[in-house]
Amino acid sequence: MMKALKISLIVLGSLIGIAIAAAFVYRAFYAQKIAQPFEVNSPDLPAKILIATQGSAFKTQLVAELVERIKSSTYIRVIDVSGLSGINESDWKALVVINTCEGGKMQTDVATFLAKNADKHNIVLLTTSGSGEWKPTDSSVDSISSASKKDRIPTLVAEITQRIEALL
């Protein structure tokens, strides 16, 4: 009886250890990095666009191509989504928020930012997920969903640009 209990505890402990290790491996491969902030053009320009994003190869390329497309006569500031708490939405003609669905929910800083801003008319939200089908249900922002596939970048840049131009 004692031997069976020991074996059961060892098996259970091993399974828990494997689950914890798998969670760490998943986090190491799929966790978003901190996006590097930068600015384009003078803040004195009348059209101001904020891009809040997370750090990944897909999002970095998407932001680079988006900035290239919209940079003429527009002040652009790029920040990590973790900096959204210090942003006043009314200071910007357009805010582009690019985040990843995490555990079936919007990234925490993004969800908090959207919840505190009642007037979301100037926010363009792109949420990426594994399938590209996930859409936030807890936000009144008209959002774009996509998988993080590089072949989708031109289409996403065009769609985001169209929404920005409607706001300017």
Q: Return the amino acid letter for 26.
A: Y
Average confidence score pLDDT of the chain: 85
What's the pLDDT tens digit per position in 116-151? 877 778 899 998 876 666 676 656 777 888 888 899
Contact yes or no for 87/50 (Cβ under 8 A): yes
**Whole-angstrom distance, CA of residue 113 vs CA of residue 164:** 19
| CATH number at 38-167 | 3.40.50.360
pTM of the model: 0.80
Looking at residue 152, the DSSP 8-state letter turns out to be: G
Q: Are strands 75-80 and 38-40 parallel, antiparallel or unpaired?
A: antiparallel
What are the CA-CA distances from residue 69 to residues 60, 81, 127, 161 (Å)? 14, 21, 20, 8
Please answer whether residues 53 and 80 qualify as being in contact, where contact means their C-beta atoms are separated by less than 8 angstroms.
yes
Q: How far apart are CA 90 and CA 167, in angstroms?
A: 13
- Joined together, the tokens standing for residue 25 give 């491996």
